[in-house]
Each structure stands twice: as structure tokens, then as C-alpha cells.
């Protein structure tokens, strides 16, 4: 697949398609818009890669990063036209049809990024996982909490951490979240990791950041600081203690 970017008209055509599919969930998605020269142009510098089926957000981010590196280029992070085109190109994965051929189209910010405000830009289904992956390029695995879900369903863990730039960009915070919520043997999310627990951890970290240097605190030390509600997760931190 040769990466392209929508022009303004292409973005509006895609926006209209989203509106149509909300009214008619079985409406076909016209893939012809991806290569229509009146709607888009080839991305410069050029990037191409074979399309894959992505197991989760991490797999997508790794794929895009590798594609860019192999072409000695960087995806244009602030180009709305590029991210919107890539969303359209991967639409069957970001908005898959169910067994009855129906698609459930959510808020527009998931498909057409609003890059003017972080409070909305993090909601984009493709730009956000790539952004998070790049924030932790030295060790992307520590960002797995925010990247473990499928592309179309970011999930509560993503919502709680990705919506707080001071947490999602912090190596220490993400390392603790990984140790708490991800089973190191299976690589899967632990039971009870999302929902209220994720929200509480985000709030606790924000509180502790006022007096502790979270990026460099020792994880074993940090786990003893956590309230009793996290006790069921604490042994994993003690066993896998590392400097964060």
C-alpha cells in the first residue's frame, strides 16, 4: 500500500461517508476514494507497506513505525489529511462490520483527528497509538497498557492514561501500570485492570507526582506507597522490581 493524504475535499467526502454510515450502518464503504486523484495525493516523502491484520494497537504502531523506517521517512504527525486517509485505508479494522454487515460509527474524533487540542487528539484510533509508541520508542513494551486493545476499541486503560499527557509520556508511570495490570507470562491484561482501578491509579499517580519524582522512583518503593486497594496487584511489582 502506497501511503497517501486526503486534501480538504477528500476529508469532507470521508466525513460525509461517516455521517451516511451512522444513518445506514450497512452502507458500503467506497474504497475508490483512497486513490481518487481529486481527493488525495501520494504522501511525500513516500512511505509504503503491505497491509496487515493488527492484533492490537501495539501491532499497528509497530507496523507504521517499521514502514516509515524502512523508507527512511517519518509519518507526518500533524497532518490531518494523512491520518484521515490512513483511517479510511484501514477502515475495515478501525470500524469493522459485524456478522450482519453493520458498522457502528462512533464520534468523528476517532476517525478524523482534531490535532489542535490534546483533549481531543488522543481519541483518534490511529494517531494516538503511534504517538504513544513513539513516546516510549526506547522501550515500547512499557506502553502496552495503552496499546493492548484492538484498534476499534481503545478501552478504559487507554482512556485513563492516554487522556493525561503527564502520565502517558512518563516512563515511570507507564512502567508501574504495566507491572500492575499486564501479566508478564501471558502478555494479557489482568482481571480487574480496567474500569475503576485504572481511573484510581491515574488519580493516585497525579497526587504523588506533586511530591515524588515519578520518572525515577524505584518501582518496589512506589508499590508500597499505593493504597490498599491495589494490594492484589502489588506482588507483581515486588517480583519484577526495576528502576523507573
* pLDDT tens for each residue of the chain, 244 residues long: 999 999 999 999 999 999 999 999 999 999 999 999 999 999 999 999 999 999 999 999 999 999 999 999 999 999 999 999 999 999 999 999 999 999 999 999 999 999 887 778 899 999 999 999 999 999 999 899 899 999 999 887 788 778 878 778 888 778 888 888 888 888 888 877 766 776 787 778 777 766 666 655 565 667 667 787 887 776 544 444 443 3
Percentage helix, strand, coil for the chain under 3-state DSSP, each rounded to 5: 50, 5, 45
The pTM (predicted TM-score) of the whole model is 0.87
Q: Which of 83, 95, 89 is nearest to 20 (CA)?
A: 95
Quote the cell numbers at residue 127: 494517531
Detail the DSSP E strand segments found in the chain.
4-6, 40-42
Q: Cell numbers of 10, please?
A: 477528500
Burial class (CB in 10 A: 0-12, 13-18, 19+), 16: exposed
Cα–Cα dist 201/226, whole Å: 8
* Closest-CA residue to 123 (of 90, 73, 92, 168): 168
Look at residue 16 in the predicted model and tell me its pLDDT. 97
- Of 216, 213, 204, 208, residue with least CA distance to 180: 204
| DSSP for residue 135 | H
Is the CB of residue 50 less than 8 Å from the CB of residue 90?
A: no
Amino acid at each position: 500500500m502506497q501511503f497517501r493524504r486526503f486534501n480538504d475535499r477528500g476529508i469532507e467526502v470521508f466525513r460525509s461517508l461517516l455521517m451516511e454510515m451512522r444513518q445506514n450502518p450497512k452502507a458500503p464503504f467506497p474504497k475508490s476514494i483512497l486513490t481518487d486523484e481529486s481527493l488525495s495525493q501520494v504522501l511525500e516523502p513516500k512511505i509504503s507497506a503491505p497491509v496487515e491484520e493488527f492484533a492490537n494497537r501495539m501491532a499497528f504502531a509497530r507496523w507504521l513505525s517499521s514502514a516509515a523506517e524502512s523508507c527512511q521517512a517519518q509519518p507526518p504527525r500533524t497532518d490531518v489529511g494523512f491520518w484521515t486517509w490512513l483511517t479510511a485505508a484501514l477502515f475495515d479494522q478501525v470500524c469493522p462490520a459485524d456478522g450482519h454487515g453493520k458498522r457502528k460509527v462512533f464520534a468523528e474524533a476517532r476517525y478524523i483527528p482534531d490535532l489542535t487540542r490534546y483533549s481531543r487528539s488522543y481519541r483518534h484510533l490511529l494517531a494516538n497509538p503511534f504517538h504513544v509508541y513513539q513516546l516510549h520508542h526506547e522501550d515500547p513494551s512499557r506502553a502496552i497498557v495503552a496499546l493492548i486493545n484492538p484498534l476499534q476499541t481503545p478501552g478504559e486503560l487507554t482512556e485513563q492514561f492516554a487522556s493525561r499527557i503527564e502520565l502517558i509520556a512518563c516512563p515511570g508511570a507507564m512502567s508501574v501500570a504495566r507491572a500492575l495490570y499486564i501479566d508478564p507470562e501471558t502478555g494479557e491484561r489482568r482481571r480487574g485492570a480496567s474500569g475503576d482501578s485504572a481511573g484510581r491509579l491515574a488519580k493516585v499517580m497525579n497526587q504523588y507526582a506533586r511530591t515524588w519524582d515519578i520518572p525515577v522512583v524505584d518501582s518496589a518503593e512506589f508499590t508500597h506507597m499505593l493504597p490498599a486497594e491495589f494490594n492484589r496487584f502489588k506482588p507483581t511489582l515486588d517480583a519484577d522490581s526495576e528502576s523507573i
